[in-house]
Amino acid sequence: MPKQPATIYDIAELLGLSASTVSRALNKPGRVNAVTQHRIEEAARELGYRVNTAARSIKTGRREMLGVLAPDVTYTVFQDVLRGAEQAADERGYLVLVGETSQSSAREEDWLARVQTAVDGVVLTSPRADDASVADLAERMPVVLVNRRVDGVPSVVPDVEPGLRAAVARLWELGHRRLLYLSGPQRLWMSRHRHELLDRLCRERGIEVRATASGSGSFERGAEAADEVLASGCTAVVAFNDLIAIGVLKELEARGVRVPDQVSIVGFDNIRGSDYTSPPLATIGAPLQQVGAAAVRELLAAVDGVAPSPPSAAAGRRRTRPEELPTVFHDRGSLGPAPG
């Protein structure tokens, strides 16, 4: 049923031209007689011609596709990154391959291996692979990291500080002096990063910070943490992400503990749904679409740098200055004065 798609030869034959002329006309218009050009375009439309990208790739070495790796398409953070990436890619005529690795490093490795030959580069959002593997991969193909840093590999990470600083200031103002950080997965660079920064910012003000042992980044994890929260004697909680935050919030509500009267809660990511709760969840969000777009632009710059132009000293291993992608604090109802 799907009849063979037309090739440049079909067009050439139809018009009594040679394939190379057709190719030229279709690729670099201007290098061919105006009327011929027109006839070719006409014929191409007529025949429903589409360039065979595989055949082109084999010659040019360019795949015009790039990969985006996501541990979990289901987590809202990734969606915005993907959307931003998709749009930036589209602007440059690139197609996007997505790899959902479901938190499994085996699948991640697998996908990476398979996709390698099909794309010009990859964006890795919170990959599970260890630093060495990531650096290794970056040796073999253009790679840009999102929400993670690895030495020598370009990365795009929003600047956590402004949003978190605002949140801490607000907590201070409300009288909170003891905070509990609900850690995410230990292997997640971003969880450690947020923790460190929270520590630093609180130290500046003399706020005490404790932290739970690391756990998953899920709603259930948050619910489980309710006991720890109550036992900790802390008046406010900063969760690694909104899922955890909402988990505690709902569990505390279920136990009759009033938020924010007895405990204040702040999350991270400003996921869709974080303002559906009662009270709405205060959270620190990042411009994730821009993050995704920036990552792709950086990736494509690297891709461009690889082949054409003077093989200059090369754009080389730059990282987007985070100042350009600041997080924002969303002050919402889950924050209130410290009790007592």
DSSP state of 124: E
| Size of the residue set binding its own copies (CB under 8 A) | 54
CA distances from 215 to 51, 61, 223, 246, 280 (A): 49, 43, 12, 15, 24
- Does 91 contact its own copies by CB under 8 A? no
- Compute the least distance from the CB of residue 44 to DNA, in Å: 10
- Compute the least distance from the CB of residue 32 to DNA, in Å: 4
Instruction: Please give the Cα distance from 87 to 94 (Å, whole number).
Output: 9
Q: Give the residue, chosen from 276, 312, 313, 323, that forms a contact with its own copies under the rule CB under 8 A.
A: 276
Q: Give the residue, chosen from 1, 2, 3, 16, that forms a contact with DNA under the rule CB under 7 A.
A: 16
Q: Which residues contact 181 (CB under 8 A, 6 or more apart)?
A: 194, 195, 198, 209, 210, 211, 212, 237, 238, 239, 240
Work out what residue 1 binds among DNA, its own copies, none; the CB cut-off runs from 5 to 8 Å by kind.
its own copies
- Does 140 contact its own copies by CB under 8 A? yes
Cβ atoms of 198 and 182 within 8 Å: the answer is no
Listed ranges 139-147, 199-207, 260-268, 323-331: which one lies at the site for its own copies (CB under 8 A): 139-147
Cβ atoms of 22 and 40 within 8 Å: the answer is yes
Q: Which helix (H) or strand (E) holds 70?
A: strand 65-70
Q: What angle do CA 158, 164, 170 make, to 5 degrees?
A: 155
Residues binding its own copies (CB under 8 A)? 1-2, 5, 48, 50-55, 57-58, 63, 65, 73-74, 76, 79-80, 82-83, 86-87, 90, 93, 95-100, 102, 107, 111, 113-118, 139-142, 246, 250, 253, 271-273, 276-278, 306
Residues binding DNA (CB under 7 A)? 4, 7-9, 16-21, 23-24, 26-27, 31-33, 36-37, 49-52, 55-56, 58-60
